């Protein structure tokens, strides 16, 4: 694949995020203080994971419809990169939690749900590696991937909002009400100017990494396609 415009855009957006993200004026909200700058990294990584796993889902569905091995390879590689983004999201979240909640892991519902979601997709990779028959592996993995996605979405986006949580967006009341959510008046125009380019940049980076891995796998399996 040639060096396309979106790759240049990815580099520029992430460079902008890693520079202006540490320089842009930020409001002092609750106990967040300067740790609020992690918002430009932690949250966009989860956005990136959602996009990558959604692409993985679409290719798993395409595989079941066409039995084209290429679609299975695309699904697996987008899922792998999505797992990496999830682990990075957990890591940056733990760092953030250390400075705002006093400990990296407090068994908060959002943390637990995110960890379970990553484990579900790690199980997807274990399932794939446990089978040698390519057609069987691709078919069973595609079905698992579909179920995993529709478990992942409630875990990440719905259930944590229905319980008491320290994490922004959850119900108030746990351990003093948690942190104020970053939204509305709290998310300043200056922060939005960094946040949305960061989301696009991380999404493009995930797609870029996945494409490189897909190309490698297509070369390895060229005799089977």
Q: Which domain holds residue 70?
A: 37-220
Q: Give a yes or no: residue 146 inside a domain.
A: yes
Q: For residue 176, what pLDDT is reported? A: 39
Q: Give a yes or no: residue 18 inside a domain.
A: no
Q: Give a yes or no: residue 20 inside a domain.
A: no
Most confident of 154-158, 183-187, 202-206: 202-206
Q: Band of the pLDDT at 31, cuts 50, 70, 90? A: confident
- Among candidate residues 47, 54, 217, 218, the one with its CA nearest the CA of residue 121: 54
Tens digit of pLDDT for each residue in 169-178? 555 444 434 4
Q: Give a yes or no: residue 1 inside a domain.
A: no
Q: Band of the pLDDT at 183, cuts 50, 70, 90? A: low
- What does the H/E/C string look like for the chain? CCCCHHHHHHHHHHHHHHHHCCCCCCCCCCCCHHHHHHHHCHHHHHHHHHHHHHHHHHHHHHHHHHCCHHHHHHHHHHHHHHHHHHHHHHHHHHHHHHHHCCCCCCCCHHHHHHHHHHHHHHHHHHHHHCCCCHHHHHHHHHHHHHHHHHHHHHHHHHHHHHCECCCCCCECCHHHCCCCCCCCCCCCHHHHHHHHHHHHHHHHHHHHHHHHHHHHHHHHCCCCC
Q: For residue 76, what pLDDT is reported? A: 97
Tens digit of pLDDT for each residue in 127-176? 999 999 999 999 999 999 999 999 999 998 888 778 777 776 555 444 43
Mean pLDDT of 205-221: 94
Domain count, the chain: 1
Q: Give a yes or no: residue 138 inside a domain.
A: yes
Does the pLDDT of residue 181 top 60, yes or no?
A: no
Q: Give a yes or no: residue 144 inside a domain.
A: yes
Are 96 and 38 spatial neighbours (Cβ–Cβ below 8 Å)? yes
Q: Give a yes or no: residue 92 inside a domain.
A: yes
Q: Give a yes or no: residue 12 inside a domain.
A: no
Q: Band of the pLDDT at 185, cuts 50, 70, 90? A: low
Q: For residue 168, what pLDDT is reported? A: 67
Are 186 and 29 spatial neighbours (Cβ–Cβ below 8 Å)? yes
Q: For residue 148, what pLDDT is reported? A: 97
């Amino acid at each position: 694949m040639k060096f396309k415009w979106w790759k240049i855009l990815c580099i520029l957006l992430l460079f902008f995020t890693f520079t202006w993200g540490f320089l842009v004026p930020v409001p002092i909200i609750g106990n967040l203080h300067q740790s609020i700058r992690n918002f430009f990294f932690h949250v966009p990584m989860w956005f990136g994971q959602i996009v990558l796993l959604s692409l993985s889902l679409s290719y798993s569905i395409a595989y079941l419809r066409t039995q084209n091995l290429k679609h299975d390879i695309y699904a697996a590689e987008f899922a792998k990169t999505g797992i990496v983004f999830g682990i990075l999201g957990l890591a940056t979240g733990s760092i953030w939690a250390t400075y705002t909640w006093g400990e990296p892991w407090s068994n908060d519902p959002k943390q637990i749900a995110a960890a379970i979601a990553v484990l579900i997709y790690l199980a997807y990779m274990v399932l794939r590696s446990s089978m040698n028959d390519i057609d069987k592996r691709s078919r069973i993995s595609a079905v698992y991937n579909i179920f995993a996605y529709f478990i992942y979405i409630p875990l990440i986006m719905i259930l944590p909002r229905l319980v008491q949580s320290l994490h922004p967006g959850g119900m108030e009341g746990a351990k003093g009400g948690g942190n104020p959510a970053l939204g509305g008046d709290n998310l300043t125009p200056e922060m939005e100017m960094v946040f949305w380019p960061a989301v696009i940049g991380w999404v493009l980076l995930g797609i870029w990494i996945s494409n490189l891995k897909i190309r490698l796998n297509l070369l390895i399996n060229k005799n089977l396609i």
